[in-house]
Structure 1
Amino acid sequence: MKLSILDQAPVTSGNQPADALKKAEELALLGDELGYHRFWMAEHHGADSFVSSAPEVSAAYIAGKTKQIRVGTGGVMMMHYSPLKMAEVFKTLSALAPGRIDFGVGRAPGGDQYAVYALSQGRQPDITNMYGRFETTLQLLNDETPNNMLYAKTIAAPQKVVLPEPWLLGSTGNSALEAGERGVGYSFAQFFNGELTKETLDIYKQSFKPSAFMEKPMINVSYMVTTAETKEEAEYEAKPQDLWRLEFARGHIIPFLTPEEAKDYPLTELDKMMIEENRKIHIVGDVKQVAEKLQADQEKYGFDETMIVSIPHAQEKRLNVYRLLARELL
C-alpha cells in the first residue's frame, strides 16, 4: 500500500502557532525517511486551530528540506486565486524540485465568511465555474493557450518545466467525474464526511481520459487516524480530537485539549452518541486494528493510496502514529 501524509498544522493546547509549522517540517522529514509517498499541506484561513494558511509556501520550504517524498498541497483553495498565479507558483516549484511537486486543489473556501471576503478584498467571492478555472490552470501548466480569453494573451512562466502532478479534491461523484475527464488524480476526503463509496470512485475511473499529466487514473483517500501500540492508549490520545469535532459540529471552535484535560470533559449521553457517530470519520484503535481497516477499505473500494492525517497532542505521539503505520503497511 502507498502511504502518504496530510498535515493541517494543528495548534494543540499549550503550543505556539509557529511551533505547528516547525512540527510539519519534522513530520515531513520523518515521512521522507520512512518511505511515505507524498506530503501535502492543507489550506485554512481565519482560525487559530490550524495555521496552514499558505500551503504553497510550506511546500516550497519542505521540498527543499526533503529528498524523495513528493510534496504539495491538499489543497490550494482555488476560489481565492487566479489561474495564472496558481500555474506560475506550481511551475516554479516544479522547476526547483522536478518530479516531486503535486498541485492539489479544492473548491471549498477553507475559512469562514469573514476570511473569504477579506481574501477577495471585500468583493463578492467568485464561486462560479470552478471547474472552468481549474481547466484554465491546467492549460497554463501545460504551456497551452487557454480557451479563456482573459488568459489567452499571456504565458505562465517558467515554461518547459517538468509538469507538477495535479489532483482534484472532493467527496462527491461530481468532482470525481470532473477529475476523470481532465485526466488528473482524484483525492477523496473520507475524514470530512465518511461517505466513501465504490460508485464514486468508479465514476472517476470510468470517466478518466489520459492526459499530459497522467496516463492512468490515480486515487488517494485521506483518513483521520489515531493509533498506538494499544487500543487504550489510542482512545486516550483520540479524545481531544473527538471533543474538537463535537464542538465544531455545534458551531464552536475550541482549542485542541491535552488528553489529560479531555479525560474528564463532561459529556451527556447525546454527546457520547455524537462522538460514536463521528468515529466513521476518525479511525481509532491499536495499530494492527487500524492497519486491517485501511487494508480492508483499499480492497473494498479499489483506491491506490491512503493519506493519513493525525492530531495527537504531543508531537512525539503524532510522529509515532506514522512510524507504526509504516511498520505495518510499508
Structure 2
Amino acid sequence: MRLSILDQAPITKGNTAAAALKNAEELAVLGDELGYHRMWMAEHHATNTFASSAPEVTAAHLAAITKKIRIGTGGVMLMHYSPLKLAEVFKTLSAFSPERIDFGVGRAPGGDNYSIYALSEGRQPMVNNMYEKFDIALQLINDEVPEEGLYNKTIATPSQVILPEAWLLGSTGNSAIQAGLRGVGYSFAQFFNGEMSKEILDAYKRNFHPSAFMEKPQINVSYMVTTAVTKEEAEFEAKPQDIWRLQFMKGRIEAVLTPEDARDYPLTEMDHMIIKENRKIHLVGAVNEIATLLQEEQAHYGFDEAMICSIPHSQEKRLDVYRLLAQGLF
C-alpha cells in the first residue's frame, strides 16, 4: 500500500500562519526522505485555523525543494477559478517538475459565503457547472481545443509539457462515477464524514475509461490519524483534535489546543459521546494498531493508497506520526 500526505497547514494554538507553512515545507522534505508517494495541499479560505489558502503556490515551492515525492493540490477549488488559469498553472508546475505534479480538484468552496463572493469579485458564483469546468481544464492541459466558445479561440501555455496526474476529490460518492468516466484518479475524504463504501469505490472502477491522464483506475483515501508508540500517548496527542472537531460541529472554529490544555478541557457527558462517535473519522492508537487497521481497510475496500492527515499540536509530534507509519507500513 502506498502512503501519502494531506496537509492543511494547520495553525495550532500559540503558533503563526507563517510557521504553519514552514511546517508544511519540513513535512514535505521528510515525506520525500521516507518514501511517501505524494503530498497534497488543501485549499481553505477565511480561516485562522489553516494557512493553506493558495495550494498551487505552496505546491510550486514544495516541488522545488523535494526530489521524488509527487506534489499537488487536494484540492484546488474549481468554483473560484477559470479553467484556462488552472490549465496554465498546472502545466507550468509540470514543466518545472515533470512526472511529479498532481492536479487535484474539488467542488466545494473551501470557505464561507463572504469569501466565496469576494473570490468571485461580487458576482453570483457558478456552482452547477463544476464537471464542465473540469472537462475544459483537462482539455486545455492536454493541448486540446474545447468546444466551449469562450475557450476555443485560445491555448493554455506552456504547451507540450508532460501531463500532471488529474484527480477528482469527493466525500459522499457523487464524484466517483464522474471521475471514472473522465479517466482520472478518485480521492475519497474518509475523514470528512466516514461514509466510504465498497459500492462507491467499485462504481468508480466500473466506470473508469483510460485517458491521457491515467491509464488505469487509482483510488486514494484520506484518513485523519493520530498515532504514537503506545496507545496512551496517542490518546494524549489526539484529544486536542477531538475537541477541535467537537467545537467545529458546534459552529466554533478554534486553534488546536495543546495536549495539556485538552486534558483539562471541561467536557459534558454529551461531548464525550460525540467525541466517541467522531472516532470513526479520527483513527487513534499505537502505530501497530493503526498500520493493521489501514491494511485491513485496504483489503476490504480495494483502494490503492492511504493519504494521511495528522494534526497533533506540536510539529515534532506530527512528524513522528509520519515516521512511525512509514516504519509500520513500508
TM-score (norm 2): 0.99
Q: Quote the Cα distance in structure 2 between the aligned partners of 1:218 and 1:140.
A: 22
Q: Quote the Cα distance in structure 1 between the aligned partners of 2:275 and 2:125.
A: 34
Structure 1 equivalent of residue 234 of structure 2: 234
What is the CA distance between 1:254 and its match in structure 2? 1.4
Q: Quote the Cα distance in structure 1 between the aligned partners of 2:96 and 2:258.
A: 39
What is the CA distance between 1:314 and its match in structure 2? 0.8
For residues 32-60 of structure 1, what are the alpha-carbon distances to aligned partners after superposition, in whole Å with 9 as ceiling and x for unaligned? 00000001000000000001000000000
Structure 2 equivalent of residue 313 of structure 1: 313
What is the CA distance between 1:171 and its match in structure 2? 1.9
Q: Quote the Cα distance in structure 2 between the aligned partners of 1:284 and 1:138.
A: 38
Structure 2 equivalent of residue 114 of structure 1: 114
Structure 2 equivalent of residue 285 of structure 1: 285
For residues 119-167 of structure 1, what are the alpha-carbon distances to aligned partners after superposition, in whole Å with 9 as ceiling and x for unaligned? 1111111112110110000000100011211100000000100000000
SS at match of 1:227: strand
Code of the aligned partner of 2:292? E
For residues 233-287 of structure 1, what are the alpha-carbon distances to aligned partners after superposition, in whole Å with 9 as ceiling and x for unaligned? 0000001100010010011111211001110111111100000110000000000
For residues 160-204 of structure 1, what are the alpha-carbon distances to aligned partners after superposition, in whole Å with 9 as ceiling and x for unaligned? 000000000002332000000000000000000000100000000
Report matched runs for 1:198-213 at 5 Å. 198-213=198-213
Aligned length: 330
What is the CA distance between 1:3 and its match in structure 2? 0.2
When structure 1 is superposed on structure 2, of 164-173 and 223-232 the one drifting more is 164-173
Structure 2 equivalent of residue 45 of structure 1: 45
Unaligned runs of 5+ in 2: none
Q: Quote the Cα distance in structure 2 between the aligned partners of 1:301 and 1:125.
A: 36
SS at match of 1:210: coil
Structure 2 equivalent of residue 96 of structure 1: 96
Matched, 1:82 2:82: yes
Q: Quote the Cα distance in structure 1 between the aligned partners of 2:87 and 2:291.
A: 37
Q: Quote the Cα distance in structure 2 between the aligned partners of 1:307 and 1:56.
A: 18
Structure 2 equivalent of residue 244 of structure 1: 244
The percent of aligned pairs where both chains have the same amino acid is 72
Q: Quote the Cα distance in structure 2 between the aligned partners of 1:253 and 1:310.
A: 17
Structure 2 equivalent of residue 164 of structure 1: 164
Structure 1 equivalent of residue 266 of structure 2: 266
Q: Quote the Cα distance in structure 2 between the aligned partners of 1:208 and 1:126.
A: 27
What is the CA distance between 1:209 and its match in structure 2? 0.3
When structure 1 is superposed on structure 2, of 198-207 and 247-256 the one drifting more is 247-256
TM-score (norm 1): 0.99
Code of the aligned partner of 1:289? E
SS at match of 2:26: helix
Report matched runs for 1:148-227 at 5 Å. 148-227=148-227
SS at match of 1:5: strand
Unaligned runs of 5+ in 1: none
SS at match of 1:108: coil
Code of the aligned partner of 1:199? E
What is the CA distance between 1:327 and its match in structure 2? 0.1
Matched, 1:326 2:326: yes
Structure 2 equivalent of residue 27 of structure 1: 27
